[in-house]
Chain A
Amino acid sequence: MLEINALRAGITDKEILKGIDLIVPTGEVHAIMGPNGSGKSTLSYILSGRDGYDVTGGTAMFDGHDLLEMDPEERAAAGLFLAFQYPVELPGVNNANFLRTALNAQRRARGEEELDAVKFLKLARAEIKRLSMADDMLKRNVNVGFSGGEKKRNEVLQMAILRPKLAILDETDSGLDIDALKIVADGVNALRSPDFSALVITHYQRLLDYIVPDRVHVLAGGRIIRSGGPELAHELEANGYAAVVAEAA
């Protein structure tokens, strides 16, 4: 379970998150929607431990771990996965090597046995097949020369292989055509289980047609101003954020 309590954070001299309260129970998928500049990406970075942000108050607990006290790699090993809005290129590092190193680092941290190359490839190939991706995905350098859609698919593949307990998808739908959107959604839906939860950050309701959330939260001005069921996403789509923001003010 992810439990965020009165979280305040920002960058030097500027508070971006002004007291976030949010609970994502294990097994649920929650969506966070909101206008540009509302703090959606900041929230995902703070939860995953990116440098450059100051947390000025509040807590973020995940399955009993105090996230804010942990290094990014410790959070990863605890089961937190961030699907990046802009996946990063790693020239000369092939996907298979990258993923195996990452998976084994996590397994080592959890005291589990590492996977040898053969076992890893078997696992990776099975996931690639399940996600209807191209076989050469593993041989290619991490995100180098990938189209926007391929990069997002690669995020989904990594997620499928790393099997997180909590996935944060930071506008994974931006710039995707409808086919790619379906692949991303299928990837998330395949992981849905009583042990898995997800925080889906998005601008648009479109993605939520494919990943149907249990709850929808509206983030504006650094606060969650409204929460509701999946129907809230439709309301936002129909009336725009301005109406909800005005109503909350």
Chain B
Amino acid sequence: MAAVAETLDTVAAVTEGGYKWGFSTDIEMDMAPKGLNEDIVRLISSRKNEPAWLLEWRLKAFALWKKLDEPNWAKIHHAPIDYQDLHYYAAPKKKQGPKSLDEVDPELLKMYEKLGIPLKEHAILAGVEPVEGERPPIAIDAVFDSVSVATTFKDTLAKSGVIFCPISEAVHSHPELVRQYLGSVVPAGDNYFAALNSAVFSDGSFVFIPKGVRCPMELSTYFRINARNTGQFERTLIIVEDGGHVSYLEGCTAPQRDENQLHAAVVELVALTDATIKYSTVQNWYPGDADGKGGIYNFVTKRGACRGARSKISWTQVETGSAITWKYPSCVLIGDGSVGEFYSVAVTTNRQQADTGTKMIHIGKNTKSTIVSKGISAGRSDNTYRGLVRIMKNADGARNFTQCDSLLIGDQCGAHTVPYIESRNPTAKTEHEATTSKIAEDQLFYCRQRGLSQEDAVGLIVNGFCKDVLKELPMEFAVEAQKLLAVSLEGSVG
């Protein structure tokens, strides 16, 4: 097994220097003092000129948070988080939010350029037709620490009635929508981290697709944590009215820092009759170094409500980052014939810990859910799939199919599958399939005998393993995700 030792060395070398997104940016920041109390909640609210109802909502959430306990059922271990030792608000210093891209701090634009995120509309704005074969435009909301710094293509989208803006802006421009839907899918008291987020959320994206509109382009939010000792608490709210359709992508990175950083986001999706929401995530927060030092603690609550008949919500995630991932994107299938999907690839290496999965709650008749989860563990990491399929009493004809596959690389990592299935309706059908396998020496040798390098062989095998999930991603993201998988696992096989 010489190859094992050798390649484990390689992975160490690669992962230590391998996080390409680990740089930090010098930006003058407006920071709230460390610690969390009512005054901080008030400060955040006042910084954003929020209406009274929202401050009240936050304060209520804060009161709930104080009564809640950190969840302890996940298979993750970390030193206690000192919630008083964090900044709860950090924003690039600017008198007023930028009105247009020209006003955005050039340092910020430079950073996004370095990350490969195009915060430019130049071709389109100049009236130039997009060249065939070039990537189609994607509207992007860029969130830097606690605030949205730029949103592209807002005007183009507005023409078709689509609202895409920072949620802090939506609070002012569309208060009725925000007030109606905020917390309607993930109530403030849902769990410890959701309560925390509700009290201190800073910014995030707001999307509204009116009746019958198919959003003309992919929408995307790019999250970047930069500041030190800062928590990031963004909040995303997507509402799609009857017959509407949207595909939304989210990407995340953070600088390489020795201390852990907390990220506790909430995402709420609402799909009305015949509406479709496709939500894709490529999560690549800094995972910490080979010894488990540093990295993001990612405690995220994502939930979608299929409120209307035949509505559909589809979550696709490729998770390669974070020291700890605690995340269960879920679907509440209320409308008859509504559909929930969850496609996930979770990669853990070094000392990363991931406890991730989904919840599918079948309430309406003939509701359908599909879960495909692919966990890949390497190094000394732990990777757990935790999923709940609950069929309620009236969900006649509900169907669920679950497939959980784990791939182990090396002999010091762990893969765990924890499926919960609760059925209260005798006509419902659920299926669960699970496999655990290792990248076998003979698979690698077979590939190498045909001429592939060890790295290419691992990439090929892992991508084959994840194919069912990757094909759900929008085309361009799929290519990115494949590359990311290859980088994350470079050399980790023996």
- A interface vs B, CB < 8 Å? 48-52, 71-73, 75-77, 81-82, 84, 86-93, 97-99, 101-103, 105-106, 109, 141, 158, 162
Contacts and interface: CB of A to CB of B under 8 A. Distances in A.
B442 interface: yes
A245 B460 CA distance: 45
A184 B449 CA distance: 19
A48 B445 CA distance: 9
Nearest to B494: A51
B2 A51 contact: yes
A93 B461 contact: yes
22 contacts: A51-B2, A73-B449, A75-B449, A86-B442, A88-B440, A88-B442, A88-B446, A90-B443, A90-B447, A90-B460, A90-B461, A90-B464, A91-B465, A92-B465, A92-B467, A92-B468, A93-B460, A98-B460, A105-B451, A105-B452, A158-B450, A162-B451
A84 B446 contact: yes
Contacts of B450: 76, 98-99, 102, 105, 158, 162
B472 interface: no
Given A88-B440, A92-B466, A105-B453, A71 B448 contact: yes
Contacts of A92: 463-468
Contacts, number: 83
A118 B447 CA distance: 22
B424 to A, nearest CB: 36
Nearest to B405: A91
B260 to A, nearest CB: 34
Given A82-B449, A88-B440, A106-B451, A51 B463 contact: no
Interface in B432-491: 440-443, 445-454, 456, 460-461, 463-468
B79 interface: no
A73 B461 CA distance: 16
Contact of A73 (B1, B452, B460, B468): B452
Given A51-B441, A92-B466, A72 B456 contact: no
B443 A88 contact: yes
Nearest to A108: B451
Contact of A50 (B445, B463, B465): B445
Given A51-B1, A101-B460, 6 more contacts: A72-B445, A73-B451, A88-B443, A102-B447, A103-B451, A105-B451
Interface of B: 1-3, 440-443, 445-454, 456, 460-461, 463-468
A77 B449 CA distance: 9
B63 to A, nearest CB: 49
B464 A76 contact: no
Contacts of A89: 443
Contacts of A97: 460
B464 A91 contact: yes
B460 A72 contact: no
Contacts of B456: 101, 105
A93 B444 CA distance: 13
Contacts of A77: 451
Given A51-B1, A51-B2, A51-B445, A101 B452 contact: yes
Contacts of A98: 447, 450, 460
A109 B451 contact: yes
B448 A72 contact: yes
B405 to A, nearest CB: 9
A106 B451 CA distance: 5
Nearest to A87: B446
Contacts of A48: 449
B406 to A, nearest CB: 13
Nearest to B460: A93
A89 B460 CA distance: 12
B453 A73 contact: yes
B1 A76 contact: no
A52 B1 CA distance: 6
Contacts of B466: 92
A56 B463 CA distance: 38
B413 to A, nearest CB: 20
Contacts of B446: 84, 87-88, 90
A72 B461 contact: no
A97 B464 CA distance: 10
Which residue, B450, B461, B465, has most C-beta atoms of chain A within 10 A? B450
Which residue, B447, B451, B465, has most C-beta atoms of chain A within 10 A? B451
A226 B305 CA distance: 77
Contact of B3 (A51, A76, A162): A51
A109 to B, nearest CB: 7
Nearest to B464: A92
Given A51-B1, A90-B443, A92-B466, A102 B461 contact: no
A41 B468 CA distance: 36
Which residue, A52, A93, A97, has most C-beta atoms of chain B within 10 A? A93
Contacts of B3: 51
A23 to B, nearest CB: 23
Contacts of A49: 448-449
Contacts of B461: 90, 93
A190 B240 CA distance: 62
Contacts of A93: 460-461, 463-464
Nearest to B3: A51
Contacts of A90: 443, 446-447, 460-461, 464
